[in-house]
Amino acid sequence: MRKLILLGLIIAIALFANFSDQPVTDFKISINDEIIELETPVRIVEGEILVPAEPVLKNLGAELEWDEDEKVLYGVMGDFKVNLAAESNEILVDGEKEKLDFPVKFWSGKIFSLPEPPVEAVGAFVEKDLENKLINISTPAIFDPLDPGDPEGPILNVTYPPGTETYHYADTIYVFGTTDSYSQVEVRVNEEPVDRHDPRTGNFLTMVDLPRGEEVPIKIEATDERGTTVIKRSAIYPDGWQKMSDEPLAFHSMHLIPSQNQVLSPGDTLHVAFQATPGASAYFQVGGSGLIRMTEYESPWGSEGEGGIYRGTYTVSENDAPGSGTSAPMPVTGHLYRGNQHQSRQMPGQASFTARPVYQIIEVTDQEELGWFGWLRLVNENNPDILSDTLGGTGYAINVTGYLQEGNRYEATGSSGNYFRVSPNNDDTYLIHTNAVRVVDDTDRLSSTLSAITLRETKDKIRLQFNTDQRIPYIVEENEAGAKKLTLQLYGIEVDDELDKPDLPGLINSLELKPTNGNNNETTLTIDLTQKMTGFKTDWDNSELVIEIYKPPVVDRENPLAGKTILIDPGHGGEDPGALGPADFHEKDSALEMSLFLRDMLLEAGSEVLMTREEDVSAELYGRTDSLPGKKIDFFISIHSNAHGPGGDAVETHGIMTLYNYDHNEKLAEVMLEVMGEEMGLPEIRTWRRKIAVLRHTEVPSILVEAGYMMHPEDNWYIFHPRGQKQFAEAMKKGIEEYFLILDNSNQ
């Protein structure tokens, strides 16, 4: 069975000094805040509280059977079974024996036991209020839908599919929702029992196959002795790309590339593509140029063949560029020929050519102004895509490679739609949104000399300052060595032959500068460390590049959290609900509750805690962590719960995932996943390196935790119940403690 945290108070023997081993008539039992009637009262024996098992299990909704000869009480509640045998030191739960701290007793014809074993066996929780002589038992009845409607039988609420004609882009669709909690309800989808159904919560989850292009009816039924409640849905896995018909000769109305204006320099490639009638001869021209032959492909992703997908490229030459400045936009026109038929169509985007050496010099604007525009995106020129609106209208897929650094300058070779094109290494092409930069007019080229390196060390960090003439492009590279190596690619910089390196402190093993692959225009800066760093920061001080490397904090091994400043980010909030769970529950709510539990635990351990939100309010995604720069934060954690996307087996996929961004946080993600998996008893799915807005700051150990899947019955038992939320928070706290301890061990 999964671990459950016992939230009962630790009972000191002294508290029972006035209790003898006899019935205690003034001790009450409540279930979901309602006092239940007891024919036989609670007893205190040897300092232990024993409750009559029959009324407790009966009021929880269990079906009971009594074996007079064997003196065994059998209880069944949904899929949960428990057997209590008189004078036994064991309890049988779902066929498995579990040891008891105190034996089952038989008095006055009734079975008595500690309250926790039978109650937890059927998935409920116990809390003892000794001051008021009350045993509180709670079940997650909050899972029942807020608006159950007027069912003929059990409550039935279907969260997904949300309605008829749901478009779902996979060959299987998950169906999930909820029915009455703690009840004997059978749930079937399209006449088949659901794959997962948790009677404690009523939540269910199952999979339905979707043949492509067909509308599939989905009938959900919940049945008990009252009758059957039925909800009908339907889903469609739409046909993907389809050929156009052979007649008439025509262009597709949307699949046309370039879709936005392009400004290109000599050496750049213009990609032209469109969908049209199959089997034609296709050409394109730029302005008044001659016709350029295009190749036909059998599909957007397939090989050459008669499929009506036409592609062609044009490499801009020096002769195309004007003597100076940029040419006027020229139309890009596609042509189709078949027999004596001819059709032409102007692409949405036009092309301009610009003179070398540089189109414009641009500088990344202030960090707090970047927001969504602050990503550096790499153009994947081996992956053309005409079916979606690719960034900049280039027709190529784009990969996010990192977040832009304030003050970095680039030589823009052109533009694509609302993006500047940059190619710092004269090979790869990147896109930078025009809203992320300002145009610099005081220089025509980026060229600098590194003349000196100065170093300053404090107890918290090492500050390296590189004396250069002007700001240049640089890109931080990822390293297998992770937290013990930092590598930057510097572009347009020359290293002075007489450059003196400073004396290196103990944290830095070596500092190396050398041309990248023999290219004197690109320099690789490698800083090897003798121990792990917890973060780094790169910045510009006027025209000088500054790199700060943060040392691991001092850790009190008796209390690793004491004195640490920790920033907690409850995911989503306000108008952003996050992922949806069954019965009208949202990720934003459970994330906040887990975060508040974690906050209180950390405060109790002596940490200083900051929160990005402490109530259900909207928190702008890119503004959540703007408080990080300039503050001494020892740890950042963003708390979420997961959602299944289209495709894959949602029934079998559940558990915990941790996400990180930079090498020095990989170990943190691994530690947190391992600790949480062990504490929660849920599957450890994986650590995943992702470029995520809230993890973009390099200077702070940062992690995003996906605490289970919202729709999965085994996970959301914990996600939405206060006891489960507290258990998740306790597991995260232990993960943070373990990270600091391991960090301290590795740097001994």
For 438-485, the three-class secondary structure string (H helix, E strand, C coil) is EEECCCCCCCEEECEEEEEECCCEEEEEEECCCCCCEEEECCCCHHHE
Q: How far is residue 218 CA from its own chain's centroid?
A: 30
What's the pLDDT score for residue 480? 59
SS3 of residue 653 by DSSP: coil
- Residue 293: CB atoms within 10 A of its CB come to 10
What is the pLDDT averaged over residues 201-205? 91
Burial of residue 457 (number of CB atoms within 10 Å: 0-12, 13-18, 19+): middle
Confidence of residue 481 (pLDDT cuts 50, 70, 90): low
The CATH architecture annotation of domain 13-139 reads 2-Layer Sandwich (3.30)
Burial of residue 730 (number of CB atoms within 10 Å: 0-12, 13-18, 19+): middle
Nearest CA-CA partner of 551 in 664, 671, 694? 664
Identify whether the C-beta of residue 309 lies closer than 8 Å to the C-beta of residue 298. Answer: yes
Question: Domain 143-236 belongs to what topology?
Answer: Immunoglobulin-like (2.60.40)
What's the pLDDT score for residue 11? 34
What's the pLDDT score for residue 6? 31
Residue 589 DSSP symbol: H
What's the pLDDT score for residue 18? 38
What's the pLDDT score for residue 682? 96
What is the pLDDT averaged over residues 531-558? 92
Nearest CA-CA partner of 392 in 252, 256, 254, 261? 261
Residue 367 has pLDDT above 90, yes or no: no
What's the pLDDT score for residue 387? 86
At 289-314, the pLDDT tens digits run: 999 999 999 999 889 999 999 999 99
- Alpha-carbon distance of 590 to 585, in angstroms, equals 8
Cite the residue boundaries of each domain of the chain with CATH code 3.40.630.40: 565-746
Mean pLDDT estimate for the chain? 89
Identify whether the C-beta of residue 535 lies closer than 8 Å to the C-beta of residue 550. Answer: yes
- Alpha-carbon distance of 74 to 92, in angstroms, equals 9
Q: Which amino acid is at 627?
A: S
What's the pLDDT score for residue 615? 95
Half-sphere exposure of 402 (CA within 13 A, CB side): 14
What's the pLDDT score for residue 688? 95
Identify whether the C-beta of residue 375 lies closer than 8 Å to the C-beta of residue 431. Answer: no
Helices 587-604, 722-746: axis angle to 10 degrees equals 50
Confidence of residue 7 (pLDDT cuts 50, 70, 90): very low
- Residue 9: CB atoms within 10 A of its CB come to 12
- Alpha-carbon distance of 613 to 668, in angstroms, equals 23
pTM of the model: 0.84
Confidence of residue 14 (pLDDT cuts 50, 70, 90): very low
CA angle (76, 82, 85) in 5-degree steps:
125
User: Which tokens hold the place of 568?
Assistant: 């907690």
Task: Quickly list DSSP for 378-407.
Answer: EEEEEEE-SSS--GGG-SEEEEEEEEPPTT
At 551-597, the pLDDT tens digits run: 988 999 999 999 999 999 999 999 999 998 887 789 999 999 999 99
What's the pLDDT score for residue 482? 62
Radius of gyration of the chain (CA): 33
What's the pLDDT score for residue 88? 94
What's the pLDDT score for residue 747? 58
What is the pLDDT averaged over residues 599-616? 96
What's the pLDDT score for residue 732? 98
- Alpha-carbon distance of 266 to 353, in angstroms, equals 8
User: Which tokens hold the place of 258?
Assistant: 């370039």
What is the bridge-based pairing of β-strands 110-113 and 125-129? unpaired
The residues with which 396 forms a beta bridge, in sequence order, are 384
What's the pLDDT score for residue 483? 75
What is the pLDDT averaged over residues 383-411? 91
Burial of residue 54 (number of CB atoms within 10 Å: 0-12, 13-18, 19+): buried
Cite the residue boundaries of each domain of the chain with CATH code 2.60.40.10: 143-236, 248-440
Higher pLDDT, 174 or 358: 174
- pLDDT more than 90, % of the chain: 68
What's the pLDDT score for residue 478? 67
Residue 686 has pLDDT above 90, yes or no: yes
Q: Which CATH class is domain 448-550?
A: mainly beta
At 85-100, the pLDDT tens digits run: 999 999 988 788 889 9
Burial of residue 249 (number of CB atoms within 10 Å: 0-12, 13-18, 19+): middle
Q: What's the per-residue H, E or C state across 309-351?
A: EEEEEEECCHHHCCCCCECCCECEEEEEEECCEEEEEECCCCE
What's the pLDDT score for residue 24? 82
Confidence of residue 8 (pLDDT cuts 50, 70, 90): very low
The CATH architecture annotation of domain 565-746 reads 3-Layer(aba) Sandwich (3.40)
Match 């025209």 to its residue by tokens.
543
What is the pLDDT averaged over residues 644-658? 94
The CATH architecture annotation of domain 248-440 reads Sandwich (2.60)
